Chains A and B, each alone.
Chain A
């Protein structure tokens, strides 16, 4: 469905946002993971035809969208990072506006979308008074209003409380079969339950594109648990790649990735958070 061939984005400063990245994905939910500054947003902006790559090709269903962006725009839903709203419009007016820009004529569709994101009760209220979560749900509603084949959502859960994050995840997972959803985040738990594939980026490059199960396998045997004293913890925290630490009466319960350290550590069952940390720090090795 979506093919990216040797795409690079170089800024005028000379820095690369994305560097020689290639991938091919079909339908499903693709989680795009990476630390801040990894190039996730730049990649998504290029796919969403907001900015052009410096080199390389992006093909959607065989059509080069860099040359023919409108072919994708007709089938695209996009929710950018830090999405804002027009405070003085009502939720219905806001959706009608984007529906018109996307060529959607049906008023029923607007009502359906408001219902699907659970905003039908406040459809005629000004969106300026909405909470962050409600605004994000309105954002996803505008992204889905044209029943797109490709949905791009960039850091959609940033700033949301845990309940809203779960609700947002559920909305994304219900988008439907046969569509491609690309969800970028640096929070692993956002994608672990809904992603069919996970792409990991670092410094503009693609480190891996694999299923969550395969990603877990890459770090099998490299995840450890140990109980250490507070003093030991202070010494170890800079030398180990720690994915979790909980203070308990018997000491600090550590969870870390990498080669076994010279301390009494026992192997642990890998989780996606561990796998991500492992890829970030030991992938090259």
Chain B
């Protein structure tokens, strides 16, 4: 039995493991709902594609393009966080150690994991494509052309699928990228790659080589739409349109000669990640896997953590002396300062943020403070479940009953510590600006608590919040709706109220989820 059988076994096992999860079933149910939401009926006043205020007719080409581009964003951004746990799972279960003691070669293992990732994402997109096709049958305008519809997916998504699948294998093979730090790095890598190709096409493709890195397909899409529609004003997603303007027939994208090589290159380039991953792959050597690496100080994060430990211990011991440990308040205080004990890097981040807040303009600084805050907060509501201390904590009566409040309080306290100077500097701007900032802080804390308790996985909050943050920062205050913490002074009463309501919903969700889990146990 050779390499093919071994690779096939790895792919098969990964596929079964992923597709038998409840979360995967939920994702596939959501796909149908998403297709319903993204492809609105023309009578609703919204359109999947809006060009200069005109609604694009719901043809196979338009709906295919619109849904393929949305699916590609989901794959490119969220797909990574869904699939980048295949090697980590093998480390946690020790099945990887057993696999490493077999004649299986390392390249077979990594290739198997890559194809497993590919298979999952292709199935995900195929499911999304089929549910979108079904919506086209319901809300389509014109003849149903399945080949044109599928063509849009084939033109846009393969590069994103290969890129994400290979990047997940690479990130998981490099110990210092295999955790939360890697999750953050990937987000900014994805944003940078997208920015590069979009910027390039916005300047009419001045840098031709950039097209070879168009993993997201955005560059291709923008260039094609510029050529066909002679405009840069295109909105994809359920967007409002001007009903007084006549609808436009958009036939969909087609491959042009100039794009054949760049599209092929963007599919093939990510494959180079695999030999790179092989160079770093630990083959489950316990000395090289992350579990050991975290304890050692050989990577730069570890070195910073080690250097910061004496300072954080000193500070934590000073802060800890003021607690009496009997009330929920002292438990909140202890949990908040535990963050600094566990990660001296977060203490360093707090110092940097506080010093920067004293000198930098608030408008520029606030988004950065919130991005740093999100990374620090992501662990607080997940660390108990991950470290297996939940049962011990639930044996303490006041924590068992008030676990959600405890975590929310701890996260709020940490957030206030991180934003203390910015809050003080916001006071002169008036009561409403201060209320907006405090509301934003509470919103972040509530979402971090809810997602942390529900998923026990810090990356859920990181990816959800950073995606939201990315939209907010790119909007630059153009819409009051996105100015959740008053970064750009555009928040209105409705904005603050809306985010407060969302926070309350998130806390209720966390309570219901936690109580249900508690009653089951």
Contacts and interface: CB of A to CB of B under 8 A. Distances in A.
A85 B89 CA distance: 10
A142 interface: yes
B103 A11 contact: no
A236 interface: no
Nearest to B22: A88
B1 A104 contact: yes
A97 B104 CA distance: 12
Nearest to B12: A97
Chain B contact-residue range equals 20 to 34
A143 B298 CA distance: 34
Contacts of A126: 20
**Which among B89, B97, B99 has the greatest number of chain A C-beta atoms within 10 A?**
B97
B284 interface: yes
B92 interface: yes
Interface stretch (B2-10, B270-278, B341-349, B451-459): B2-10
B98 A80 contact: yes
Interface stretch (A46-54, A224-232, A243-251): A46-54
A93 B16 contact: yes
Interface string B1-38: 10001101110110011001100000000000000000
A31 to B, nearest CB: 20
Nearest to A72: B101
Given A93-B13, A100-B6, A101-B104, A85 B93 contact: yes
B457 to A, nearest CB: 16
Contacts of A83: 93-95, 98
Contacts of A101: 6, 9-10, 99, 102-104
B93 A84 contact: yes
Given A88-B21, A101-B104, A50 B13 contact: no
Contact of A103 (B1, B20, B92, B101): B1
Nearest to A126: B20
Nearest to B1: A103
Interface string B260-292: 000000000000000000000001111100000
A86 B1 contact: no
Interface string A74-92: 1010111111111011000
A80 B9 contact: no
B13 A73 contact: no
B100 interface: yes
B296 interface: yes
Contacts of B89: 86
A80 B94 contact: yes
Contacts of B13: 86, 89, 93, 97
B285 A51 contact: yes
Contact of A86 (B17, B101, B285, B298): B17
Contact of A50 (B8, B10, B20, B284): B284
Interface residues of A, number: 38
**Which among A12, A79, A104 has the greatest number of chain B C-beta atoms within 10 A?**
A12
Interface string B283-315: 111110000000010100000000000000000
A98 interface: yes
Contact of B286 (A50, A88, A98, A142): A50
B20 to A, nearest CB: 4
Given A51-B287, A89-B17, A104-B1, A98 B296 contact: no
Nearest to B103: A73
Given A11-B287, A50-B286, A86-B17, A98 B8 contact: no
A13 B16 CA distance: 40
**Which among A80, A83, A93 has the greatest number of chain B C-beta atoms within 10 A?**
A80
Contacts of B17: 86, 88-89
Interface in A1-38: 11-13
Interface in A39-59: 45, 48-52
Contacts of A98: 98-99, 102
A49 B287 CA distance: 13
Contacts of A48: 97, 101
A105 interface: yes
Contacts of B285: 50-52
Contacts of A51: 285-287
A96 B296 CA distance: 37
B296 A86 contact: no
Interface in B98-112: 98-104
B305 to A, nearest CB: 15
A135 to B, nearest CB: 10
Given A70-B103, A96-B9, A101-B9, A88 B16 contact: yes
Nearest to A70: B103
Contact of B101 (A11, A49, A85): A49
B296 A12 contact: yes
B105 to A, nearest CB: 8
Contacts of B97: 45, 48, 50, 78, 80
Nearest to A145: B102
A12 to B, nearest CB: 5
Contacts of B21: 88
A11 B296 CA distance: 10
A84 B98 contact: no
Contact of B95 (A73, A86, A100, A105): A86
A83 to B, nearest CB: 5
A74 B94 contact: no
Contacts of B99: 98, 101
**Which among B1, B10, B94, B101 has the greatest number of chain A C-beta atoms within 10 A?**
B101
Contact of A13 (B92, B95, B296): B296
Contacts of A165: none
A179 interface: no
A102 interface: yes
Contacts of A100: 1, 5-6, 8-9
A100 B108 CA distance: 12
Contacts of A70: 103
Given A12-B296, A45-B286, A50-B100, A105 B1 contact: yes
Interface in B404-424: none
Nearest to B295: A13
12 contacts: A12-B298, A48-B101, A50-B285, A51-B285, A73-B103, A78-B98, A80-B97, A80-B98, A82-B94, A85-B95, A88-B21, A97-B9
Given A82-B94, A86-B13, A97-B13, 14 more contacts: A12-B298, A48-B101, A52-B285, A76-B102, A79-B98, A80-B98, A83-B93, A83-B94, A84-B92, A88-B21, A100-B8, A105-B5, A126-B20, A152-B101
Interface of A: 11-13, 45, 48-52, 70, 73-74, 76, 78-86, 88-89, 93, 96-98, 100-105, 126, 142-143, 152
Q: Which 10 A-B pairs have the closest CB atoms?
A: A84-B93, A100-B9, A88-B20, A78-B101, A103-B1, A101-B102, A80-B94, A80-B97, A97-B13, A48-B101
